[in-house]
Structure 1
Amino acid sequence: MDKSLIASWFHRPLPFLLISFVFGLMVGEIHPVAEGFILVICILSLVILLIHILKRKRPTFFLPLIIFFFLGIQFINCALYPKFPSYHISKFIDKGKVGVIGTVTRPPLYLPDKMRLFVSVERIRLEGKFLEVTGLMALTIKEYEGCITLGERIGFTTKLQPIRNFNNPGGFDYRRYMASQGIWVRGYVRREEEIVCIGEGKVSPWLKGIEVFRTKIRMFLEGHLEFTTLGIYKALILGERSGIDKTTRNHFNRAGVGHILAISGLHIGIIAFISFYMLRRLFLLSERLTLRFNVFKLAALFSIGPVITYAFVSGMAVSTLRATIMILALYACIILPRQRDIYNTVALAAFIILIMSPASIFNISFQLSFASVFSIIYLTPLLISVSLKNEEDIPIKTPPDFQRRLLKFIMVSLVVSFAAILGTAPLVAYHFNRISIIGILANLVIVPLIGFLALPLGLLSVIIAPVSQALAMIPLNIGAVVLGISLSIIKFFSALPLASFRVATPTIPEIVLFYALVFLLFNIKRWGWTRYAIPIVILLGLFDQVYYYYRNHYNSHLKVVFIDVGQGNSTLIQFPRGKNMLIDGGGFPGSSFDIGERVVARFLWHQKIKNIDYLVLSHPHPDHLNGLPFIAENFKVREFWSNGESVDTEYYHRLMSIIQRKGITKPGLGELKDVRDINGAKIRVLYPPENFIKDKDIRTWRSLNNNSLVLKICLGNNCFLFPGDIESEAEEKLITLHPHLTATVLQAPHHGSGSSSSLEFLERVKPRMVVFPVGLPNRFPHGDVIRRYRGLGCEIYRTDRDGAITITTDGDRLTVQKFLDSG
């Protein structure tokens, strides 16, 4: 083994142990391992390690790594697959409506169209009996006034439901995210009036006091700021982002400064830096303090107070807690009288966080925070050494000339920004599918304006407000002006051509190859072997790209994916040789949750799809329509197909506006009637008839559902029928128009409602398989409909139980793959 690696191991062991621990967390999340096996391995490794120590031999390099690897597996097993007692709240899921009594133990979470309470449950009333229970649940309230606060003991009636995911490849694991916060159960009430406030619960008085202070800050900000600056200041100070409108959020994201809106290591670090700098300057004014104490360490010690205070005022979200631990670890590194190593310190902070919350390794903020810190401390010195000609030019020493000092400050800021963006780019692409080209320059301007001016001014105003609101308005108004200027600059950057662009989701091997290439390029002068390794990494990357291009563009199969969008419909059809069609985009009526952005697009990007040749809207109901505007906006769409029926809704108007602005072809219903051949696959629009809109006046059954666009797609001997939400009346009309409806696979009409899937229709279609696009909890599919399909011998698939369902055919054989395939 390389001697330099062994030397690094004994000089800074924590990074190596951290990597091993993280690897264990990732393996344990994929496949749980028996506790007994882990215990045996750890005991054997410890025994061997102790023998080495007793014999005064240098311990072997691998034994500690093995121990920490299996500890990682055990920690993640306990976090994600816990063994709850019989009285835990999760044991009473899906038992119908139950009465619940508990205490709000965390600050309420305000979302754009709802409020969420985190309730520590004490008792439930089930079937007339009161039962003592434990556990934390999330309660969502649709219509709220915000009267319920932290520490209140409340009672309500709800259905206890498990935390569920949209089960698609590449989907966000919401269940794992909630599990990392100790939440396994959710409930819902429509109105806040349905909740009874019983009194004060058992919550720490100082925690309650902090929430009271947060409420006063919120009221102060709401009383003195306009909407846009109010939303941003609430995000920066209180950690509440619900007041930021989607347009403003998009401007921040396109400019590459969206991270500023979420309190993280950047914000905590800025407060830590400002506190440290000001306290150090203050202490230096005292000759007595300077002579008696190490002012550097004293400033670090007293800076802990402002950092912790800001963390609590901002709501102490999980990401804020992680950032605070990291900063405190760095302060400890300064204060403690021992040799310091920055890598060991950062690794220690990561260890503390992962031991407290093992599932944090999968959290976006954790990954971005530590990736940016590691890349800054590793890449910045290398970049500066390349940029500066000799050691005297390193900008730690104060140059005599102001202009020279300013230029060096700008250069170092650019280098740090570049290092952070380079280190986090693959993770940003993986989680957000966006790369910002202008981000380096935008961060150079916006971070000082918002981070070092607007944020401190806002905090200063809320500190002064309890004493004098008139005085507090001075820094608040200045901060609002700074935010206004910042917003104007952000809008300018975001409007630039190619300011940012969407990318397909990189795979884990692709991310590893990227980091390997960066590491090798920055060490090309240090190790000679890197000159041979770099071409190998590049070739592997090219092979990876060729593989996915060939898979998507030279495949002779027809693949149909019924995407899990809950109670709604969205289906991807991949034709032979790379053409793509998306039928519907899912959606929830009356909800701000953009399923197109959060579910459908994530799935498409995971499949390396950026072009949709045919975007189809079967009919303009929210559960089919609302996800399509985001797809039309962020993917290259060639044609838009619909029956031409319009509705007066926000999502429909937005979709039509995007189609018109982007010049997307919109063929009429008459043009769609012709049979199309797409690389061997034949597609035909069977319904509705061209005169259906005129027919609506005389036929009362012609609803939006019964006017759904019906498509039939065939390759060889296998056909797929997509009837939208037609019901029995439209099924009868379809049979009249097209007596030969035989199809191998049928998407159940209207999600399997009792008013659809008539026996006559099914006997004409004669499906071998039926797919129900449904969500939980739901009344669909109807029991009689299920029995009808079973009576015909159909194979039954459901997106609520099977997740995304992929059916592939070469024209003869048919293969089915379920995302939640238990087999």
Structure 2
Amino acid sequence: MSSNYSINIMYPFFRLIIAFSAGIFISDRLLPDSFPMWILLVVLGSSLMGLFLSYFYSHKFCSKYFGGFVLLVFMSGGTFWTHWRAQQLQFNWPDKTLLYEGTILEPPSLTDKTYACKVYVEKYYDDSLRLEIPVHQEILLYAVRDSLQNIPDTGVKLLFYAQLEPPSTPPYLSFDYARYLYYRGITATGVAYWGHWKVDTVMPVNLTCRQYALKCHEKLAGVLKSSGLRPDALAVTSALLLGEKDLLTEDIKTAFNAAGVSHVLAISGLHIGIIYFLLLFLLRPLLFLPAGRWLHTTGILFALWFFAFLTGLVPSVVRAVCMTTVYLLSSLLIGQRSSTWHVLYLTAFLMLVYQPFYLFDVGFQLSFAAVFSILLFYSFFRSKFPAGNTLLSYLYDTIAVTLAAQTGTFPLICCYFGTFPLYFIIGNLFVAPLVVLIIVLTLLVLGLSWIPLIQSWVVLCLNFLSAFFVNGISFIASLPYASIADVGITSLQAVLLSIILFAVYFFYCFRRPQVLIALLISLNIFGLLKWKQTASDTSPQILFYNREVYYKEGTRTERLVPYNACILSAGGVLTGKLSRDYRNLYTKERPLQLDYLFLCKGFKGDLNDLRRLFVFKKLVMDSSLPAKQRIQLAEQCNNSQTDYVSMEKNTVYTVLVKKQFY
């Protein structure tokens, strides 16, 4: 491998992206929210001054450190820009219920009892001060369903009474939910109860470009739903073409994860690549016209952006279309094929400038890690396979691309998902041609909606192909040892593992001692961290929180579902959860043996009633119980010397479970 290949990878844009990303990381993780902006501005100005002096003065000292000043400018610029964006998300929400006015930004998600709405809050009304206070922040509002109100829709005005609070992470979660919302611009959450919210149908609706796109996305989803597709086929086609995952069952999601092909369900670069090659074929006649290259490129870009618009301008599609746009325009303007490395770096830089917090988005990291590793490792893996006919070349190319993508994303998959599929090569060989056929047929279903007879024939083919697609993936996922579970690693371990993988590759190619030293150091640090993590692993836990019971083991947390009406079992611990009157539930002569009894809102009865039904070691009272009832039960427990816990609001009660060895 030539040294020019290494230079294309590492210099100059790669180093600039690393410096800018380091600035984003410093601002987000190291600087407090109250850090003065003027200090960052002084640092940025000083860096620019140093860059100016080192460029225009030929002094040996100045010219020697020109590259360092360039990196410092990008790092300080990333820090300043990220901190300024973070300052825009700071707001002191009143600690009382007030009337707010806002606009619904996206189609609400339906839950059992609420509409989950992303709302842009414009202002609130303070009756005590008789003032309208401007807000201009995005929140996540849970509006309890009200049959007397219109269903919330994208772009409509919403008036609601609620107490809004900054997002918080429930104690049972293994990831930072509050920071997750923060990175998406959500600065508060709240609940608007029945009768406390109203859709304003009088004010005119002024939709943004993205809201128009979401409206079109909803109409396309409606066309698919009315086309006569079977439930599984509708779920698969909606996910592949529109990115709609709500219709997918848990069994389908689990099967795709175990088979290592869950990426096809998230509309992204794979789907854009398929449509791009279809457009290359369909628009090829334009190349024979005057100014054919311009017409050909313009037609492809228009079609890709139109498709992105129809999918609701979701970030994953926008990333892929942006990368394709930069590549095609640069190739057209320069007059030759542009470097895919430079296109990748420039796209990443532009997206981070637009939204610095994309750096911490899992989809952003996986997308660019996959593309980066394909560009880096594909030729290496492909060279290990011999040349062959068309069919063998397709198989070898698919295997090489799959291995390259999995190599680069392996640390991220272990970090975020804690599992790794073993049959990902078989899964990708199976789904690659089927995804193309399903996307083409789904486009035909949408395009032929005005010809019902022909559409019905296409729907029949799509139903059969989707069933074969899902059954094949389910079969792969059911094979023995389909995936390795419990391989979770920390973020620092993921970084070290990435360094190890790339160091092994570069040492194999270039045999440089510096790379070997970095590899050995990273291996030692990774081993020490993994040993420390293993030594400090805690026992499994039972968590009581907010009317639910959870079982936590390592990084995995699951909500326990009762069997036999109210009994929960995990880790050898039996818990009874009572949220209504159970006095007539058990008629056995012997009381039921339990470890814990968990009382929640809706429970009726007293300690004597519980003693007739259960024998338990400890009584746990949730904060949802009325205060008067908790006081009465506490007095009864004290009088009978019964062990109990009375939980306060937003607190969690944790029980350690002894590990069981078999």
Normalization by structure 2: what TM-score? 0.81
Partner of 2:330, secondary structure, is helix
Partner of 1:522: 505
Residue 303 of structure 1: which of 290, 300, 305 is its match? 300
Change (3 A) 1:270 1:581: same
How far apart are 1:415 and its partner, in Å? 0.7
**Mapping of 1:185-264 within 5 angstroms?**
185-189=188-192, 194-204=197-207, 210-223=213-226, 224-264=228-268
Q: Deviations over 1:215-252 (max 9, x none)?
A: 33232222222222222323333333222222222122
Partner of 1:166: 170
- Amino acid paired to 2:498: Y
- Amino acid paired to 1:724: V
1:749–1:757: 8 Å Cα contact kept in structure 2?
A: no
1:619–1:709: 8 Å Cα contact kept in structure 2?
A: no
Give the root-mean-square deviation of aligned CA atoms. Answer: 4.3
Residue 318 of structure 1: which of 308, 315, 320 is its match? 315
How far apart are 1:413 and its partner, in Å? 0.8
How far apart are 1:544 and its partner, in Å? 3.5
Partner of 2:541: 582
Residue 72 of structure 2 is aligned to residue 66 of structure 1? yes
Change (3 A) 1:551 1:101: closer
Partner of 1:135, secondary structure, is strand
**Mapping of 1:613-632 within 5 angstroms?**
625=568
Deviates more, 1:188-197 or 1:437-446: 188-197
Structure 1: how far apart are the matches of 2:121 and 2:543? Answer: 40
Q: Deviations over 1:327-374 (max 9, x none)?
A: 322333332216622222111111111111111111110011011010
Structure 1: how far apart are the matches of 2:302 and 2:628? Answer: 57
Residue 644 of structure 2 is aligned to residue 702 of structure 1? no
Partner of 1:782: none
1:120–1:136: 8 Å Cα contact kept in structure 2?
A: yes
2:304–2:321: 8 Å Cα contact kept in structure 1?
A: yes
**Mapping of 1:369-408 within 5 angstroms?**
369-388=367-386, 393=387, 404-408=389-393
**Mapping of 1:119-518 within 5 angstroms?**
119-127=119-127, 129=130, 131-133=132-134, 134-143=136-145, 147-167=151-171, 171-189=174-192, 194-204=197-207, 210-223=213-226, 224-280=228-284, 282-284=285-287, 286=288, 289=289, 292-293=290-291, 295=293, 298-337=295-334, 340-388=338-386, 393=387, 404-450=389-435, 452-465=436-449, 467-518=450-501
Structure 2, unpaired ranges of 5+: 582-590, 598-604, 657-662
Change (3 A) 1:705 1:47: farther
- Amino acid paired to 2:121: V
Deviates more, 1:130-139 or 1:205-214: 205-214
Partner of 1:199, secondary structure, is coil
Partner of 1:16: 15
Change (3 A) 1:40 1:236: same
Structure 1, unpaired ranges of 5+: 85-89, 394-402, 553-573, 575-579, 590-594, 633-638, 650-667, 673-684, 689-697, 711-721, 728-747, 776-797, 808-823
1:428–1:434: 8 Å Cα contact kept in structure 2?
A: yes
Structure 1: how far apart are the matches of 2:89 and 2:577? Answer: 53
How far apart are 1:307 and its partner, in Å? 1.6
Q: Deviations over 1:776-797 (max 9, x none)?
A: xxxxxxxxxxxxxxxxxxxxxx
Structure 1: how far apart are the matches of 2:30 and 2:628? Answer: 34
1:751–1:773: 8 Å Cα contact kept in structure 2?
A: no
1:583–1:616: 8 Å Cα contact kept in structure 2?
A: no
**Mapping of 1:69-148 within 5 angstroms?**
69-82=75-88, 84=90, 90-96=91-97, 98-110=98-110, 114-127=114-127, 129=130, 131-133=132-134, 134-143=136-145, 147-148=151-152
Structure 2: how far apart are the matches of 1:10 and 1:189? Answer: 52
How far apart are 1:411 and its partner, in Å? 0.3
Change (3 A) 1:454 1:115: farther
Structure 2: how far apart are the matches of 1:647 and 1:42? Answer: 58
Q: Deviations over 1:301-324 (max 9, x none)?
A: 321122212222112223333333
1:177–1:359: 8 Å Cα contact kept in structure 2?
A: no
Q: Deviations over 1:256-288 (max 9, x none)?
A: 2222222222223322232233323x335x4xx
**Mapping of 1:619-698 within 5 angstroms?**
625=568, 639-642=571-574
- Amino acid paired to 2:405: A
- Amino acid paired to 1:171: S
How far apart are 1:515 and its partner, in Å? 1.6
Report how many residues are paired: 624
- Amino acid paired to 1:216: K
- Amino acid paired to 1:421: Q
- Amino acid paired to 1:108: P
Structure 2: how far apart are the matches of 1:486 and 1:309? Answer: 28
Residue 725 of structure 1: which of 605, 621, 641 is its match? 621
- Amino acid paired to 1:53: Y
Structure 1: how far apart are the matches of 2:46 and 2:619? Answer: 62
How far apart are 1:445 and its partner, in Å? 1.4
Partner of 1:38: 40
- Amino acid paired to 2:390: R
Structure 2: how far apart are the matches of 1:113 and 1:434? Answer: 33
2:622–2:648: 8 Å Cα contact kept in structure 1?
A: no
Q: Deviations over 1:719-764 (max 9, x none)?
A: xxx643399xxxxxxxxxxxxxxxxxxxx99999434444983998
Structure 2: how far apart are the matches of 1:537 and 1:751? Answer: 58
Q: Which has the higher contact order (CA 8 A, sep 6+)?
A: 2
1:118–1:137: 8 Å Cα contact kept in structure 2?
A: yes
Structure 1: how far apart are the matches of 2:327 and 2:646? Answer: 55
Structure 2: how far apart are the matches of 1:8 and 1:446? Answer: 35
Residue 24 of structure 2 is aligned to residue 25 of structure 1? yes
Change (3 A) 1:761 1:227: same
Change (3 A) 1:209 1:537: closer
Structure 1: how far apart are the matches of 2:133 and 2:291? Answer: 55
Normalization by structure 1: what TM-score? 0.66
Q: Deviations over 1:128-159 (max 9, x none)?
A: 74615233333323437884322322333333
How far apart are 1:621 and its partner, in Å? 9.3
Change (3 A) 1:60 1:83: same
- Amino acid paired to 1:485: F
- Amino acid paired to 1:301: T
1:429–1:435: 8 Å Cα contact kept in structure 2?
A: yes
1:435–1:500: 8 Å Cα contact kept in structure 2?
A: yes
Structure 1: how far apart are the matches of 2:378 and 2:612? Answer: 59
2:224–2:234: 8 Å Cα contact kept in structure 1?
A: yes
Deviates more, 1:186-195 or 1:241-250: 186-195
Residue 533 of structure 2 is aligned to residue 548 of structure 1? yes
1:752–1:772: 8 Å Cα contact kept in structure 2?
A: no
Q: Deviations over 1:697-717 (max 9, x none)?
A: x9874349995843xxxxxxx
Change (3 A) 1:317 1:108: farther
Structure 2: how far apart are the matches of 1:118 and 1:699? Answer: 42
2:621–2:630: 8 Å Cα contact kept in structure 1?
A: no
Partner of 1:562: none
- Amino acid paired to 1:605: G
Structure 2: how far apart are the matches of 1:501 and 1:268? Answer: 30
Deviates more, 1:405-414 or 1:257-266: 257-266
Identity of aligned residues (%): 22
**Mapping of 1:713-792 within 5 angstroms?**
723-725=619-621, 753-758=630-635, 761=638, 772=647, 774-775=649-650
Structure 2: how far apart are the matches of 1:620 and 1:773? Answer: 28
